[in-house]
Amino acid sequence: MRYAQIIPIALIILLMGCTKEGGCPDERMRKQHRDDICTMDCPGVCGCDGRSYCNECIARREGVTVVPC
């Protein structure tokens, strides 16, 4: 198997396993944190869905687990 084939497969596995509940975004997390009051500081974090969020609180409100960038 060539590297060009391995990298997309590894990325899919990483994104599928980013939350213990099995999904990204995780609807259960979104419901749990939907009323959180978040600051607007914006250092930038990466979500398991491949998008960038200003901070971890905002990502959680969307049901997204923060992963290393």
46 closest CA partner among 24, 68, 16: 68
Q: Hunting for tokens 């980013």 — which residue is that?
A: 18
> What pLDDT sits at residue 1?
52
Q: Which residues of the chain have pLDDT under 50?
A: 3, 6-7, 9-21
Three-state DSSP class for residue 53:
strand
| Cut 0.95: pTM above it | no
Query: H or E element: which one contains 52?
Result: strand 52-53
Structural domain boundaries, residue 31? 3-67
Token pair listed for 59: 């990502």
Domain count, the chain: 1
